[in-house]
Chains A and B, each alone.
Chain A
Amino acid sequence: MNPLIVLILFLTACSGTIWNNPYPSGDSGKNILYNAFAERPKHLDPVQSYSSNEILFTAQIYQPPLQYHYLKRPFTFIPQTVNKMPVVQYFDEQGNLLPTDNESADIAYSVYELSLKQGIFYQPHPAFARGDQGEFLYHDLTREDLQRVFKLADFSQMSTRELLAEDYIYQIKRLAHPRLHSPIFGLMADYIVGLREYAETLRKEAGATPKDSHLDLRNFPLTGVEKVDDYTYRIKIKGKYPQFMYWLAMPFFSPIPWEADRFYAQAGLAKKNITLDWYPIGTGPYMLTENDPNRIMILERNPNFHVELFPSEGMPDDEEKGLLEDAGKPLPFIDKVIFSREKENIPRWNKFLQGYYDASGIGSDSFDQAVQFTGQGEATVTEAMMAQGIRLETAVAPSTYYIGFNMLDPVVGGRTEQEKKSARKLRQAISIAVDYEEYVSIFANGRGIPAQGPIPPGITGYREGKEGINSIVYKWQDGKAQRRTIEEAKRLLAEAGYPNGIDSKTGTPLVLYYDVTARSADDKSILDWMRKQFRKINIQLIVRSTDYNRFQDKIRKGNAQIFEWGWNADYPDPENFLFLLYGPQGKAGNNSGNNAANYDSAEYNRLFEQMEKMEDSPKREQIIARMVEILRQDAPWLWGYHPKDYALYHAWYKNVKTNKLSYNNMKYLRIDPVLREQKRREWNEPVIWPIGAAVTVLALSLVPGIIVYRRRQRTVGLRGAIA
Chain B
Amino acid sequence: MLNYIIRRILYAIPILVGVNLITFTLFFVVNTPDDMARMHLGIKHVTDEAIVKWKQEHGYDKPLLYNTEAEGVAKLTSTIFYEKSVAMFVFDFGHADDGRDIAYEIKSRILPSLAIALPVFLLGLLTYITFALIMVFFRMTYIDFWSVVLCVALMSISSLFYIIGGQFLVSKLWHLVPISGYGSGLDAGRFLLLPVIIGVVSSAGANVRWYRTIFLEEMNKEYVRTARAKGLPESIVLFRHVLKNALIPIFTGAVVVVPLLFLGSLITESFFGIPGLGSYTIEAINSQDFAVVRAMVFLGSLLYIVGLILTDISYTLVDPRIKLE
Contacts and interface: CB of A to CB of B under 8 A. Distances in A.
Interface of A: 3, 6-7, 10-11, 14, 18-22, 24, 42-43, 50-51, 178-179, 181, 183-187, 270-273, 275, 277-278, 292, 294-295, 340-344, 346-347, 350-351, 353-354, 547-549, 552, 570, 591-592, 594, 684-687, 690-691, 704-705, 708, 712
Nearest to A203: B53
B87 to A, nearest CB: 14
Contacts of B174: 686-687, 690
A498 B208 CA distance: 66
B241 interface: no
Given A20-B171, A24-B187, A295-B275, A708 B138 contact: yes
B47 A271 contact: no
B78 interface: no
A214 B176 CA distance: 53
Contacts of B50: 181, 183, 185-186
B175 A50 contact: no
Interface stretch (B6-14, B18-26, B100-108, B311-319): B100-108
Contacts, number: 165
Contact of A292 (B53, B54, B191, B275): B275
A594 B191 CA distance: 47
B209 interface: no
B42 A179 contact: no
Given A18-B175, A184-B45, A552 B99 contact: no
A343 to B, nearest CB: 5
A277 B171 contact: no
Given A347-B179, A690-B174, A295 B273 contact: yes
Contact of A183 (B44, B48, B171): B44
Given A22-B191, A343-B279, 7 more contacts: A42-B98, A179-B57, A181-B40, A185-B47, A270-B99, A295-B182, A690-B169
Contacts of A705: 134, 138, 143
B35 interface: yes
Contacts of B176: 7, 11, 19-20, 686-687, 690-691
A655 B206 CA distance: 54
A167 B167 CA distance: 50
A277 B187 CA distance: 30
Nearest to A178: B53
Contact of B178 (A3, A7, A21): A21
Contacts of A686: 174-176
Contact of B171 (A10, A179, A342, A350): A350
B271 interface: yes
A708 B175 contact: no
B101 A273 contact: yes
B180 interface: yes
Nearest to B191: A22
B41 interface: yes
Interface of B: 30-32, 35, 38-42, 44-51, 53-54, 57, 95, 98-101, 104, 108-109, 112, 123, 134, 138, 141-143, 164, 167-169, 171-183, 187, 189-191, 193, 196-197, 200, 234, 270-273, 275-276, 279, 288
Contacts of B234: 712
A53 B100 CA distance: 17
A351 B178 CA distance: 9
19 contacts: A19-B175, A19-B177, A20-B175, A24-B183, A183-B46, A186-B45, A186-B50, A273-B100, A295-B112, A347-B271, A350-B168, A350-B179, A549-B35, A552-B35, A592-B48, A594-B44, A686-B176, A705-B134, A705-B143
Contacts of A271: 101, 104
B271 A346 contact: yes
A273 B98 CA distance: 11
B25 to A, nearest CB: 16
A3 B200 CA distance: 10
Nearest to B100: A273
Given A181-B41, A183-B44, A552-B38, A22 B178 contact: yes
A51 B35 contact: no
B175 A684 contact: yes
Contacts of A178: 53, 57
Nearest to B271: A344
Nearest to A565: B43
Contact of B177 (A20, A344, A350, A549): A20
A542 to B, nearest CB: 23
B244 to A, nearest CB: 22
B161 to A, nearest CB: 12
A22 B193 CA distance: 13
A379 to B, nearest CB: 25
B315 to A, nearest CB: 31
A22 B179 contact: yes
Contacts of B193: 3, 6-7, 10
B99 A592 contact: no
Contacts of A24: 183, 187
B54 A181 contact: yes
Q: Which of B47, B104, B197 neighbours the largest number of chain A CB atoms within 10 Å of its CB? A: B47
A690 B174 CA distance: 8
B273 A340 contact: yes
Contacts of A51: 42
A547 B35 CA distance: 11
B168 to A, nearest CB: 8
A704 B197 CA distance: 24
Nearest to A150: B104
A591 B46 contact: yes
Given A592-B46, A687-B174, A275 B99 contact: yes
Contact of B275 (A50, A273, A277, A294): A294
Contacts of B99: 43, 270, 275, 277
B47 A591 contact: yes
A699 B89 CA distance: 54
Contact of B57 (A6, A181, A347): A181
A181 B99 CA distance: 11
Contacts of B168: 350
A685 B175 contact: yes
Contacts of B272: 347
Contact of A570 (B44, B54, B164, B177): B44
Contacts of A343: 270-271, 273, 279
B101 A272 contact: yes
A22 B42 contact: no
B5 to A, nearest CB: 32
B138 to A, nearest CB: 6
Nearest to B31: A549
Contacts of B142: 704
Contacts of A691: 176
A235 B95 CA distance: 36
A570 to B, nearest CB: 7
Contacts of A10: 189-190, 193
B175 A350 contact: no
A179 B57 CA distance: 7
B304 to A, nearest CB: 24
A230 B41 CA distance: 34
A570 B176 CA distance: 45
Q: Which of B41, B109, B272 neighbours the largest number of chain A CB atoms within 10 Å of its CB? A: B41
B45 A592 contact: yes
Contacts of B123: 3
Contacts of B178: 20-22
Contacts of A187: 45
A592 B47 contact: yes
Contacts of B40: 181
Given A183-B44, A184-B45, A342-B180, A549 B273 contact: no
Q: Which of B101, B177, B288 neighbours the largest number of chain A CB atoms within 10 Å of its CB? A: B177
A151 to B, nearest CB: 11
Given A183-B42, A275-B99, A344-B271, A687 B190 contact: no
B96 to A, nearest CB: 9
A363 B308 CA distance: 44
Contacts of B141: 708
Minimum-distance CB pairs A-B, first 9? A294-B275, A186-B47, A22-B181, A295-B275, A22-B178, A347-B180, A687-B174, A592-B47, A549-B35
